[in-house]
Amino acid sequence: MAAAKAASAQAQKLRAELERHNHQYYVLDQPLISDAEYDRLFRELQQLESAHPELASPDSPTRRVGGAPLPQFEPFRHRTPMLSLSNAFTEDELAAFDKRVSEGLKTSQVEYLAEPKFDGLAISLTYVRGLFTQGATRGDGYTGEDVTPNLRTIKSIPLRLKAAAVPALIEVRGEVLMYRRDFDRMNQRQRENGEKEFVNPRNAAAGSLRQLDSRITAKRPLRFFAYAIGAIDGAAAPATHAELENWLEALGLPVCAERRVVLGAQGLMQYYRAMGARRAELPYEIDGVVYKVNSLAGQERLGFVARAPRFAIAHKFPAEEAMTEVLAIEVQVGRTGALTPVARLKPVFVGGVTVTNATLHNLDQVRAKDVRAGDTVIVRRAGDVIPEVVRVLPEKRSPAALAFQMPGKCPECGSKVERLESEAVYRCTGGLFCPAQRKQALLHFASRRAMDIEGLGEKLVEQLVDAGMVHTPADLYDRSRLNAARLAALERMAEKSAANVIAAIDSSKQAPLARFIFALGIYHVGEEVAKILARHFGSLDRLLAADWDGLIAEKERVQKENARRRNKDETLLTPVLHGVGPEIIQSIANFLRQPHNRDVIRQLRASGAVDETRVRPSAKSGGTLEGKTFVLTGTLPNLSREQAKELIEAQGGKVSGSVSAKTDYVVAGAEAGSKLARAQELGIAVLDEAGLQQLLKES
């Protein structure tokens, strides 16, 4: 009994001692003992906990070494959104921000909390009764990835808050990053071991935190700084953001020492210039500074706009620039067929990264900057992220340098390249055949509003394309090419799941003409345009045989005639294909004129993918649903959402995606969510499927 008590007391003493040294080293940057002495204390605690398993504690420093690899990260829904900040790049933009805040708070001078903008990875930490229980990445602001095991390995993150009185729950927001010196040492070890070096501290930190094996993360020198909170329960937040960060520091969390309280736009600029002058001497990378209204009550009054708070802004430093040479200008074909000229550069180190490529955006940009192969140029990492060519140094140009020309044919598939009058982008018309567009074309074809092939998601499409099993949507229906046995041989597939996918593909056959047209992925042809085309032509034969040039000429003639009639207050003509403009018709023509697109359509037709007799009738006028707006939510017992939409639109109604005061009916099925609650708040009529059917019958 006495031995157990002594072991427990010694374990508590060692834990406290090790956490104190972690805080001194990783937070205060003031180590009190050597690394060897720290290792000795750590091993002693490990041996004690091994000999006495009952002493194991979730907040022990030994829990930071990492555990077995995870199969994947679980999603984590943030209690309050982790929104990104709007950016300011100039003094005028900063002054405009200060003016908006001053007017919003009805004061002549606003007090702000200013601090560096870390170049790391935003995370949240959840503490329950002082104990660290869960941590996650920011993700899309609403849902991140649960990386708790990896965060436990970061020694500057306390596993237990050190204050005597702690909230029942507190969600701490902050940044994981890597100090420059730690990054350099890590890369030196990589070189000595003959392993690949990391590009910059930010990428190294982000990659380390997203390791499936937390033992790898434990070997990386990551650090953490807290700067805000999300949810809090069981305690009142301080009155100002400065006091909040002081409180976080008192709880044992590392907080940046460079934070300052400043007044008005002048104080913001003074802080910005001071941090810019000290940027190179800071131990970590920053790409600007962040300003937040200091009053937390003021923050709440200002609220949010879109995906960013009104009370805060990031003031970015000018992007770093460097001089290099354009070795060549090549063209990349994107997933949607857009052709983008890219400058291949002589490697140059800029903004902490070795840059070898820079986007030239489009032909207009290339001509405006007059970039040519062989030119000497200034390159900048715009926003410290995307490399771009800022300007050419014409005095260094060779007389033999030729102006860039966009190719007339797609470099990937040889299809004709077209440019619509309203766009700056050139596009490949190869659609269903182009290798660069293959994955995107298949994903769109299989999407819910197109052919609705359940189970054919992004990962499976990537495997099918990479393995050469599927080249066009028509291959999905070719059982000599794609069958359950071949599918089951793919990674993470089994016989049952493979059979389910094949069954889903087969059940997608006999799609209505409008769905089929939409599934082809013709640029500018959305669901509504596809419906108009299906109603107008009524069959694929008529669609494929259409005189597109004649239609464009007719559309333009009616437009001119209607312009004349408007001036004379005369009755307007109804144009052919009402709702489909000349540019959309031109896009359709470009697509259908490509022989390989027509070949794929022919193959799809032969496989039974489309039922041309299923053409949605034109919407009725004069019915009781004309002018009425519906919102569909939940799962109906006998109708799919798309079927319900078709029935409503056929009777003149309109289906919207969101509930507002202009909504007339909400059709609610099983597991209806926030839309139903919103309808009840607004007093909007709510129908079940039977009610909808009765309304349709009456109409």
Give pLDDT tens digits for 382-406: 555 678 898 899 899 999 899 999 9
Residue 241 pLDDT exceeds 80: yes
What totals of helices (H) and strands (E) does the chain contain, helices first?
24, 26
Predicted pLDDT of residue 252: 93
Sequence-separated (6 or more) residues with CB below 8 Å from residue 105: 293, 295, 298, 301, 302
pLDDT at 11: 83
Residue 545 confidence (pLDDT): 94
The pLDDT value recorded for residue 407 is: 94
The pLDDT of residue 614 is 67
Provide φ and ψ at 513, rounded to 5°. Answer: -55, -40
Residue 130's pLDDT band (cuts 50, 70, 90): very high
Task: Give the pLDDT score at 617.
Answer: 52
Average pLDDT for 89-118: 94
Q: 87-316: which CATH architecture?
A: 2-Layer Sandwich (3.30)
Q: Determine the topology of domain 428-616 in CATH.
A: DNA polymerase; domain 1 (1.10.150)
Cα separation, 527 vs 534, in Å, equals: 11
What confidence score (pLDDT) does residue 502 get? 96
What's the pLDDT at 604? 96
The CA dihedral of 600, 605, 608, 613, to the nearest 10 degrees, is: 150
- pLDDT of 555 higher than 90: no
Over residues 279-305, mean pLDDT: 92
Q: What is the predicted pLDDT for the residue at 574?
A: 77
Q: pLDDT tens for residues 591-611?
A: 999 999 999 999 999 999 999
Judge whether residue 227 has pLDDT over 70.
yes
Q: How far are the Cα atoms of 106, 279, 284, 543, 574 from residue 479, in angstroms, in the given order?
A: 69, 62, 57, 28, 46
**Equal fold, 428-616 vs 629-698:** no
Digit-coded pLDDT (tens) for 145-165: 899 999 999 999 999 998 878
pLDDT at res. 135: 94
Distances (CA, A) of 195 to 16, 187, 216, 245: 37, 9, 14, 40
CATH architecture for the domain at 2-64: Orthogonal Bundle (1.10)
CATH 3.40.50.10190 is the classification of domain 629-698: yes
Q: Which of 621-630, 670-679, 682-691 has the lowest mean pLDDT?
A: 621-630
| Predicted local distance difference test score (pLDDT) of residue 56 | 73
CATH label, 323-396, candidates 2.40.50.140, 1.10.1060.10, 2.50.20.10, 3.40.50.2300 = 2.40.50.140
Q: Which of 312, 314, 315 is nearest to 300 (CA)?
A: 312
**Residue 602 and residue 477: Cα distance in Å, rounded?**
13
Residue 197 and residue 191: Cα distance in Å, rounded?
A: 7
Checking if the pLDDT of 34 tops 70, the result is: no
Tokens of 166: 């702690």
Q: Is the pTM of this model over 0.75?
A: no
Q: How far apart are CA 5 and CA 565, in angstroms?
A: 98
Start-to-end C-alpha separation, the chain: 85
Residues 60 and 10: their CA atoms lie apart, in Å, by: 13
Tens of pLDDT, residues 402-420: 999 999 999 999 999 988 7
Amino acid, single-letter form, for residue 622? G
Task: Kindly tell me the sign of the dihedral angle through the C-alpha atoms of 370, 375, 380, 385.
Answer: positive
Q: How confident is the model at residue 70 (pLDDT cuts 50, 70, 90)?
A: low
Q: Which of 670, 666, 659 is nearest to 695 (CA)?
A: 666
The C-alpha atoms of residue 426 and residue 409 are separated, in whole angstroms, by: 10
Active site residues: 117
**pLDDT tens for residues 502-540?**
999 999 999 999 999 999 999 889 988 998 899 889 999
Q: Pick the residue with more confidence: 421 or 294? A: 294
pLDDT at 368 over 60: yes
- Determine contact, residues 135/125, Cβ cutoff 8 Å: yes
For the chain, give every domain's residue range.
2-64, 87-316, 323-396, 428-616, 629-698
Strand partners, 144: 76
The per-residue pLDDT for range 638-674, each reduced to its tens digit, is 888 778 887 887 787 888 888 888 899 999 998 888 8
Percent of the chain with pLDDT over 70: 94
| pLDDT recorded at residue 263 | 96
Given a cut of 70, is residue 117 above it in pLDDT? yes
Specify whether the CB–CB gap between 264 and 98 falls below 8 A. yes
Contact indicator for 87, 314 with CB cutoff of 8 Å: yes
d(CA 531, CA 435): 28
Q: Pick 208 or 345 by higher pLDDT.
A: 345
The b-or-e profile of 59-90 (16+ CB within 10 A means b, else e) is ebbbbbebeeebeebeebebeebbbebbebee
628: left (phi over 0), alpha (psi -120 to 50) or beta: beta
Q: Are 15 and 44 in contact (CB under 8 A)?
A: no
**Within 10 A of 164 (CB to CB), how many other CB atoms are there?**
6
pLDDT at 445 over 70: yes
Most confident of 18-22, 231-235, 649-653: 231-235
| Nearest one of 259, 266, 265 to 117, comparing CA atoms | 259
Whether the predicted pLDDT of 373 surpasses 80: yes
Q: How confident is the model at residue 616 (pLDDT cuts 50, 70, 90)?
A: low
Highest mean pLDDT among 56-65, 124-133, 212-221, 425-434: 124-133
Closest CA to 487 of 453, 517, 516, 521: 453
pLDDT for residue 39 is more than 70:
no
What band does 14 get if pLDDT is binned at 50, 70 and 90?
A: confident
Question: Tell me: the pLDDT tens digits for 258-286?
Answer: 999 999 999 999 999 999 989 888 999 89
The SS3 of residue 284 is coil
CA distance 123 to 196: 27
Cα distances (angstroms) measured from residue 127 to each of 62, 65, 581, 687: 19, 20, 57, 44
> How do residues 481-507 score in pLDDT, each as one tens digit?
999 999 999 988 999 999 999 999 999
Q: What is the structure's pLDDT at 211?
A: 85
Instruction: Give the pLDDT of residue 8.
Output: 83
For residue 374, pLDDT beyond 90: yes
